[in-house]
Structure 1
């Protein structure tokens, strides 16, 4: 059951007030169960950057226990939970020398590079280093096309990076890529795996053996029928993935959006009402600088519902956030019935890259997150 449809949602809103982000622990567990069923041979490293809420990290620690980290703060978070370093990978392609040193001291041995400068930083760490070279996989249809910033697109350059790493003494080499987030079209993953196989075969002819393939994250999040949807998604590239699995490659993935996205719903209430330009304007106690920041950073759009449905015809309406700033407009033509002060709106599917990117602009505090347990009354 998605959290906004839970029979207790009204009671929770009444108890906690607004704005509040409600986190479903069951949703996190379901995400692990369905993704593991679809990718049983793949180690699932939760991408902490999607949502670093401690409750999510603890649940994932109980389920899979592997984490994908990109900053010292994320390392500190999982370390405080007692996560062993061998259960972590550090996948940021660019690292300061101090960051690299401290992450290595923590005990992480798997790192990523996508350029010769970064490779030079990593080579001194010797034979313990487990190095993934990042291949660029453009996806212009994704909200976040990570190939714009990271990865090597040219095959000749990729091969040269592997040769340099091999000559430098790295004995545990692998390939990683990210198909963008969300990667709605599984054919992009299929293409990435085909490209990966071609690279693996060419390098093998030179005596350079790759041992690991990291297929990244960006799996679309599904709020309903998750098991069937992710199974259907993976089926589109299953044969290409099996080629690696059947040859003993260590397979990794970095799910973030799929895990966190459906797990949270925002409850926010109408605190102001005006008519401007022939439209009703409703001002909410949360907005773009806070929990709805995904609209700014990713052009994300979240399904909107009313906690208590209102009668009347839906009319194009404007939703705005609470800050004293004209950028803080959530939507200009949102179909809504006439609302009143105190009406509560629910924004669902808001768990990924929302609260994580929120700010305290204009003195408004970040919206609190309330973790809902399965047995919570």
Structure 2
């Protein structure tokens, strides 16, 4: 789509536009975050272990430092000042994380009625929510309509007919298919309209008198090439241009043609890495993404993103207890030992991220032989053995790590795993009766 000074005019119907506000909560006071200390993570880990006097209390637990969420938010706004972050709550729907982001002024990316309800019940304005599921259950669309959550995505004609029947005043964002071949988790196999389908879909929307306000894409999660983001923006620009060639111009509203260019939206998806993650950094992505956005789209186009893991991965530390141990001789003529350690969280709980998110958690010693080792540089001056770590369930697939070199540990010792905030407890189950770990909160900035 081409823009000129003459084209850029403010609509007289601003009440019909998504209202991007500085704060995403509608009440006058900040959302209260409860049960939060300001102690260092190391102190909480140490004191929690010290307070466990019986085996019945040796359950796995998290320590969440909400300061990491705040720091990531400010980092995002500094490096991509034009982009409004809408937290993808599927990544970690923890209430204190959400409240922290509400108070910072983030928007929210929801994919279901329950997620919408959770956010709305916390006082978030409907205008600060995008219903970013291209294929939605009809009853969930009705809930969105009833609660005035108007901004939502689509990628097929059947979805347009559904929305026309249920929520004809919705503000629609067409999700196009981006190249996600450079990501670990690819979404293009499920969502996204190819560029060749854009013309047809916009014509269907126009014939139904539906209001299409923008284009979205997602390069996939775990992206390891920053240029995937800039390439996708160029593709989105082509989609905007297709609309102009059709005479569509995204100007159809309630059957009347009006110039509503100031409300156009570009949704640049998620896939932003957490702090310190391997591979491409957020800084590298921002250096690619920011300039191409400015080159392709004028300031009147609203730019939003859907970061998830970016905010939360580094905020959560998981502590687990070694419940059982097996010592294995490699062979009858070889005295070398191999150890199998069984801990009280696993693949059906926090470590589902191994299967669903391609994460490779690294076990570290938290407490062994009554000594506390969290983030200590000193090495255990002991012989190291090949070790594997298993979850607590009766499923043989419940294996967390293999072929790790660890000193000989004992039943009752503790391990910890850094960067366990993304796609961990969110998809965890209580399979075999093992409960999800409790969470202790701190904010080391306050």
So what's the TM-score if we normalise by structure 2?
0.78
The 5 A counterparts of 1:1-377 are 6=42, 8-15=44-51, 17-124=58-165, 128-153=169-194, 155-210=195-250, 211-223=264-276, 229-276=281-328, 278=330, 279-307=338-366, 308-309=372-373, 310-374=380-444
Alignment CA distance shift 1:102-1:360 (3 Å):
same
Please, what is the CA RMSD of the aligned residues? 2.3
Q: Secondary structure of 1:169's partner?
A: coil
Deviating 4+ runs (over 4 angstroms): none
The Cα shift of 1:111 comes to: 0.9
Q: Partners of 1:172 and 1:94 in 2: how far apart?
A: 16
Q: Partners of 2:50 and 2:70 in 1: how far apart?
A: 26
Q: Partners of 2:383 and 2:230 in 1: how far apart?
A: 45
Q: Partners of 2:96 and 2:167 in 1: how far apart?
A: 36
- The 10-residue stretch of structure 1 (143-152 or 237-246) with the greater mean CA deviation from structure 2: 237-246
The Cα shift of 1:246 comes to: 2.5
The Cα shift of 1:90 comes to: 0.3
Q: Partners of 1:4 and 1:375 in 2: how far apart?
A: 10
Q: Partners of 1:341 and 1:253 in 2: how far apart?
A: 45
Contact 2:40–2:442, Cα closer than 8 Å, also in 1: no
The Cα shift of 1:207 comes to: 2.2
Contact 1:134–1:151, Cα closer than 8 Å, also in 2: yes
The Cα offsets for residues 53-93 of structure 1, whole Å up to 9 and x where unpaired, read as 10011000000241110011111211221112111110111
Q: Secondary structure of 2:351's partner?
A: coil
Contact 2:145–2:167, Cα closer than 8 Å, also in 1: no
Alignment CA distance shift 1:42-1:237 (3 Å):
closer
Contact 1:4–1:348, Cα closer than 8 Å, also in 2: no
- The 10-residue stretch of structure 1 (30-39 or 126-135) with the greater mean CA deviation from structure 2: 126-135
Q: Secondary structure of 2:291's partner?
A: helix
The Cα shift of 1:132 comes to: 0.7
Contact 1:283–1:319, Cα closer than 8 Å, also in 2: yes
Q: Partners of 2:398 and 2:273 in 1: how far apart?
A: 27
Q: Partners of 1:254 and 1:134 in 2: how far apart?
A: 13
> What runs of 5+ residues in structure 2 fail to find an aligned partner?
1-38, 53-57, 251-263, 331-337, 367-371, 374-379
Q: Secondary structure of 2:152's partner?
A: strand
Q: Partners of 2:301 and 2:206 in 1: how far apart?
A: 18
